[in-house]
Amino acid sequence: MNLSLPQTVIFDLDGTLVDTAPDLCASMNHALAMLGRPAVPAADVRHMVGYGARKLIERGLAATGTVTPELVEAGLPHFLDYYADHIADGSRPFDGVEVALDALSAAGSRLAICTNKPVRLSHMLVEALGWSGRFAANLGFDSVPHAKPDPGHLFATINAAGGVPGTSIFVGDSITDTDTGRAAGIPVIAVSFGFADRPAAELGADMVIDHYDALLPTLAALSKKRTAE
């Protein structure tokens, strides 16, 4: 393995590896319609993602009227059932993702996914994209007692991938991801093109990339900096 790269690279899924906004938007608007609510524009939905399905429905309800726990729970099965049936209708990997993943695997890095998606849906999406076998671990919010931003979710993912925290780096797109990495003491690279509700420079990541072409050199630079500290 190239010693300048981390032994384990953990990725968030939605907004980091894959632009899932089209299918998440369609699923949320389906759930809202079932509750008698109007649709939310796709551009607004992109910034509601990152905290799991319940939070997404809660934010959709807030954007279209009142919110109650009962409405969130009523909308959840509509969202999940529709999304499972349409999980990769419009979702696509971000530009350069597959080339970067191939290069990391060829260099000997373990790859893993740490997502606040239900684990069943995370595995379904990975399979639908033809990515089965790429990742040593894929843990959703329901794989652990407490999901991101709890650092235990990230630690559990690293452990499941056969890695150790001291030689791992996390790649994400939101404040949830950077808060998780900070709590775990693990460096975070933020992508600037994801679903964050604020500019990437304000997420508190160790480094920011604007394209996956920059991932490997940024990982190498961050690994070198970490080793020198």
Catalytic positions are 12
Please answer whether residues 177 and 204 qualify as being in contact, where contact means their C-beta atoms are separated by less than 8 angstroms. Answer: no
Amino acid at 21: A
Contacts of 89 (CB under 8 A, 6+ apart): 22, 23, 26
DSSP 126-186: HHHTT-TTS-SEEE-GGGSSS-TTSHHHHHHHHHHTT--GGGEEEEESSHHHHHHHHHHT-
Strands across the sheet containing 188-191: 137-139, 110-114, 8-11, 168-172, 188-191, 207-209
Report the DSSP pairing between strands 92-93 and 18-19: antiparallel
